[in-house]
Structure 1
Amino acid sequence: MSKTLILLFHPQFGQSRANRALCNAASTLPGVEIADLYALYPDGAIDVDAEVRRLLGAERIVFQFPLQWYATPALLKTWQDAVLTRMFYIAYETEGRALEGKPMLVAATAGNVQQAYGPGGVNLFALAELLRPLQATANRCGLPWSAPFLLYEAGKLDDQALAAAGKRYVVRLQHIAA
């Protein structure tokens, strides 16, 4: 059984230095499973049975992705519609109820500087505010919410900064596991 399940939703993961650095760091921890959903479902057709099994086998759930145009990547929404709708509206007693209580963490990367996210910034809203739909999802599904792990300037960070971000990510993952 996987203890910490990282569901990676990155449409161009092979080109991502930031998300790759986070995944590489996370993979050093025991009991971490990383599922690259774009690699698993390049055509967008989600294997709902497999995803339900994956979720039920985890103790903690992490959604990792780059923020794109103020939202999650499209496959994450498709995944939510297919998997969570089944678990919480069709098979709640046998699936949804069994998922409740598992901590959820969002790990999101953004290309701009932190100051760009807020009332005075070009993006108007704090990054955490843009992630509120996921917080509402966690609440609806009974998944305890943690403050998101956020990484800014994702495409501009040098190797040293990415290594430091990976170390901070590992600490967060250990914290939710404690």
Structure 2
Amino acid sequence: MMNTLILLFHPDYQNSRANKALAEAACSRPGTTVVDMQALYPDGRIDGDVEVARLLTAERIVLQFPVQWYSTPPLLKAWQDAVLTRMFYIHYAAEGAKLAGRPLLIAATAGNVLEAYMPSGANLFSLRDLLKPLQATAHRCGLAWQEPFLVYDVRRTGADALEAAADHYVARLAQLETRQAA
């Protein structure tokens, strides 16, 4: 098995600072594979066979992305529609059931500060609340939801803070692996 699979959904990864720092740091962990989904599917046409096979070889699944307008990037939604619909509604016994219990971690970055993601803030809701549709998806698919890894204020964050966030991400990935082994 490939251990930890990180599916990176960033519409402009080459110009990303935060997601690039996180992904590059994650690549340093043995047994961790980062897949740039936008590079694989620039036209948005997801290869269901490839993606199902990729998921079935992973012990842990991470969806990494920048939050855009309170949601996931469009390619992540297209991936859910193509892959998860197939696995859990069309071929459940042969595909979806085989993922039962695998941990799912969301690693999301936000351009605004933490305080903006509060009932009194500019965005009205916490980022955790805005990610609830993904938590519901994990529940429906029988995946073990993990507390999300969130990084705020990435538009203004300096190199040192991004490096610290990347270090925390690697530690969180290690923790995810350790918890699952226990």
Tell me the distance in 2 between the aligned counterparts of 1:122 and 1:162. 23
- Match of 1:4? 4
- Match of 1:57? 57
- Match of 1:47? 47
TM-score if structure 2 supplies the norm length? 0.97
- Structure 1 position 15, deviation (Å): 0.4
Paired amino acid for 2:9: F
Q: Percent identity?
A: 61
Q: What is the number of equivalent residue pairs in this alignment?
A: 178
- Match of 1:91? 91
Q: CA RMSD in A?
A: 0.5
1:99-178 alignment to 2 at 5 Å? 99-178=99-178
1:18-29 alignment to 2 at 5 Å? 18-29=18-29
Runs of 5+ in structure 1 lacking a partner?
Answer: none
- Structure 1 position 60, deviation (Å): 0.2
Tell me the distance in 2 between the aligned counterparts of 1:81 and 1:55. 15
Tell me the distance in 2 between the aligned counterparts of 1:166 and 1:80. 26
Runs of 5+ in structure 2 lacking a partner?
Answer: none
- Structure 1 position 108, deviation (Å): 0.2
Tell me the distance in 1 between the aligned counterparts of 2:33 and 2:26. 9
SS of corresponding position for 1:93: coil
Residue by residue over 1:112-143, the C-alpha shift from the partner in whole angstroms, topping out at 9 and shown as x without a partner, is 00000010000000000000000000000010
Tell me the distance in 2 between the aligned counterparts of 1:137 and 1:174. 24
Paired amino acid for 2:145: W
Paired amino acid for 1:82: A
TM-score if structure 1 supplies the norm length? 0.99
SS of corresponding position for 2:95: helix
- Structure 1 position 27, deviation (Å): 0.6
Tell me the distance in 2 between the aligned counterparts of 1:103 and 1:112. 28
Tell me the distance in 2 between the aligned counterparts of 1:2 and 1:34. 11
- Structure 1 position 8, deviation (Å): 0.3
- Structure 1 position 2, deviation (Å): 1.1
Moved over 2 A (4+): none
Tell me the distance in 1 between the aligned counterparts of 2:66 and 2:138. 19
- Structure 1 position 176, deviation (Å): 0.8
Tell me the distance in 1 between the aligned counterparts of 2:129 and 2:154. 19
SS of corresponding position for 2:93: helix
SS of corresponding position for 1:163: helix
Paired amino acid for 2:100: E
